[in-house]
């Protein structure tokens, strides 16, 4: 696990000195968010577990995901590609500022998977080299905005499960230093499902 903490610290240092993105205007973002509401909800809390909650997510992380969808190289989604096509950098920053300012609704973990998910989230799996999620995403799933590690608390279990599978297969590859691809690649289907369920109840 130590090597992951070292890598996380290195990325934190690198991102701290990286050029800053455009400052976002939450009011302008709200005015532009109507097209996002169909999937992510007016307040950024999605009712469909396949689509992520955006409320309370770090603005920098949201803006990066929008930019990555627009670039279409490391993260691809037919629906999102169409949605972001006409957005410029300032639009992305504004939307990110708006959704990050909204309160995130708390979720609940599947009790049957809680223990296994908690064990993996907090301690990883030393036998197979799966790093603990807590090292980057924190004890309550708040993430690390300086390193651009996303908040996970209250996120839909199904969405988390889908993203871990996408990292595992290499379909999604917009993770710094291949961190998530390396971790998810060592996880079993059961581990992915358990940790995703646990994350949904974090707060």
Structural domain tally of the chain? 2
Distance CA 103, CA 17 (A): 29
pTM above 0.75, yes or no: yes
Distances (CA, A) of 127 to 93, 119, 123, 186, 196: 41, 13, 11, 10, 20
Same domain, 195 and 147: yes
pLDDT in tens, 37-76: 999 999 999 999 999 999 999 999 999 999 999 999 999 9
The pLDDT of 105-115, averaged and rounded, is 96
- CATH number of the domain residue 27 falls in: 1.10.760.10
Confidence of residue 129 (pLDDT cuts 50, 70, 90): very high
- Kindly state whether residue 126 falls inside one of the protein's structural domains: yes
Confidence of residue 21 (pLDDT cuts 50, 70, 90): low
pLDDT at 17 over 80: no
The pLDDT of 5-29, averaged and rounded, is 61
Same domain, 194 and 128: yes
Distance CA 26, CA 41 (A): 16
Distance CA 84, CA 186 (A): 32
- In terms of residue numbers, what domain contains 74? 20-101
Confidence of residue 22 (pLDDT cuts 50, 70, 90): confident
pLDDT at 26 over 60: yes
């Amino acid at each position: 696990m130590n090597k992951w903490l070292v890598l996380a610290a290195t990325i934190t240092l690198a991102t701290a000195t990286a050029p800053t993105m455009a400052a976002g205007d939450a009011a302008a973002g709200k005015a532009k968010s109507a097209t996002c509401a169909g999937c992510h909800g007016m307040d950024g809390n999605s009712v469909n577990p396949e689509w992520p909650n955006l409320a309370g997510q770090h603005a920098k992380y949201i803006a990066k995901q929008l930019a990555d969808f627009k670039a279409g190289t490391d993260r691809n989604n037919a629906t999102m590609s169409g949605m972001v096509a006409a957005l410029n950098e300032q639009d992305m920053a504004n939307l990110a500022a708006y959704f990050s300012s909204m309160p995130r609704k708390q979720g609940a973990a599947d009790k049957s998977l809680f223990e296994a998910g908690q064990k993996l989230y907090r301690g990883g799996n030393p036998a197979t080299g799966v790093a603990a999620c807590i090292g980057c995403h924190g004890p309550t799933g708040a993430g690390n905005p300086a390193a651009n590690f996303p908040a996970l608390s209250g996120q839909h279990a199904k969405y988390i499960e889908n993203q871990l599978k996408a990292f595992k297969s290499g379909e999604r590859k917009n993770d710094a230093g291949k961190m998530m691809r390396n971790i998810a690649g060592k996880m079993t289907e059961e581990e992915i499902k358990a940790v995703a369920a646990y994350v949904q109840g974090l707060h």
